[in-house]
């Protein structure tokens, strides 16, 4: 660990514990894990962090952030063992990137030493909008120095949640002009995709075609959200939370298991749950 990390003994201790767990006489389960086997836990921990934030549960957030940090330590330790990089390489790379992309904070000279090749950036008295534009300009030059990808879209990870990936793909394609001009065109496209899905459903074709049309509909909806400056992932998470809340209210109103009720009875309970929520 570097001297700077002496100020963070908890971090150094966590790194040491992770190293010990992966040692020959460490934990059998931890030693068996690979980059592939713990990927799913990384995604789960990320969503648990989001859940704690949305619930404003700060003790839980502290715990969940620790679990998320564990994923970083786990990957870094495995990479260290394989000779790819170390946890110090990770934190040093992050520090360089932050300095490089914040010349208005650390100064142009420090940013250049950290690898910033952008010039002519607004620096004095800038707001969040200018900071974001500078960040994108610096990031673009960083990427131009890397080996070219086979496709312009290759930089969007396939491992992202599908809604987030769709939004990123649409946003990246829009940067080269491949996009709907406005929300009106997207609404028309949404209606078109609904009609195509309905046609597949009426034709009673194989589920693959129906699934494809449904995927097209979802992709269009995500891009509509992007044009409306709505984060589709967060919007759906909020709707999921609302559904949970209202369904729980239905159970409280009925005070008995809901199974066995007719569709009309369930709908009546749903309406009462919505009315109760609005009243509160």
CATH number for the segment(s) 162-230: 1.10.287.1080
User: pLDDT tens digit string along 179-204?
Assistant: 999 999 999 999 999 999 999 988 87
Question: Is it true that 3-96 and 162-230 share their CATH fold?
Answer: yes
Rounded to whole angstroms, the Cα distance separating 94 from 80 reads 17
Q: Which of 90, 23, 4, 213 is nearest to 98 (CA)?
A: 90
Report the pLDDT averaged over residues 226-251.
Answer: 93
- Round to whole Å and give the CA distance between 58 and 68: 15
**All structural domains of the chain with their residue ranges:** 3-96, 101-146, 162-230, 235-279
Q: Average pLDDT of 166-170?
A: 93
Distance CA(196)–CA(23), nearest Å, equals: 56
- Residue 14's Cα: distance from chain center in Å? 25
pLDDT given for residue 204 in this prediction: 73
**If you average pLDDT over every residue of the chain, what do you get?**
89
Q: Out of 1.20.210.10, 1.10.1040.10, 3.30.420.10, 1.10.287.1080, which CATH number does the structure's domain 3-96 have?
A: 1.10.287.1080
Task: Judge contact between 98 and 109, C-beta under 8 A.
Answer: no
Confidence band, pLDDT 50/70/90 cuts, at residue 40: confident
Q: For residue 1, is pLDDT > 50?
A: no
What's the pLDDT band for 4 if we cut at 50, 70, 90?
Answer: low
109: number of Cβ within 10 Å = 10
What is the tens place of the pLDDT at every residue in 86-119?
A: 999 999 999 999 998 888 888 888 888 888 777 7
- Say what the pLDDT of residue 225 is: 96
């Amino acid at each position: 660990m570097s001297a700077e990390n002496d100020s963070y003994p908890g971090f150094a201790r966590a790194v040491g514990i992770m190293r010990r767990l992966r040692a020959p006489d460490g934990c059998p389960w931890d030693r068996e894990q690979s980059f592939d086997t713990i990927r799913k836990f990384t995604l789960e921990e990320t969503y648990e962090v989001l859940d704690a934030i949305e619930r404003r549960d700060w003790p839980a957030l502290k715990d969940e952030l620790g679990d998320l940090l564990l994923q970083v330590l786990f990957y870094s330790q495995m990479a260290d063992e394989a000779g790819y990089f170390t946890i110090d390489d990770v934190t040093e790379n992050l520090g360089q990137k932050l300095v490089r992309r914040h010349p208005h904070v650390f100064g142009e000279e420090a940013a250049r030493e950290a690898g910033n090749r952008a010039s002519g950036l607004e620096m004095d008295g800038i707001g969040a909008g200018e900071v974001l534009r500078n960040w994108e300009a610096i990031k673009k030059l960083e990427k131009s120095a890397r080996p070219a990808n086979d496709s312009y879209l290759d930089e969007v990870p396939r491992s992202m949640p599908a809604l987030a990936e769709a939004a990123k793909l649409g946003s990246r394609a829009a940067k080269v002009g491949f996009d709907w001009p406005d929300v009106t065109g997207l609404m028309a496209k949404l209606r078109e995709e609904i009609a195509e899905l309905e046609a597949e459903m009426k034709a009673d074709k194989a589920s693959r075609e129906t699934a494809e049309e449904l995927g097209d509909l979802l992709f269009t909806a995500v891009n509509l959200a992007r044009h409306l400056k709505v984060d589709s992932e967060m919007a759906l998470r909020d709707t999921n939370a609302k559904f949970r809340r209202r369904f729980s209210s239905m159970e409280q109103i009925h005070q008995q298991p809901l199974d066995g009720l007719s569709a009309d009875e369930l709908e009546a309970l749903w309406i009462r749950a919505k009315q109760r929520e609005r009243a509160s």
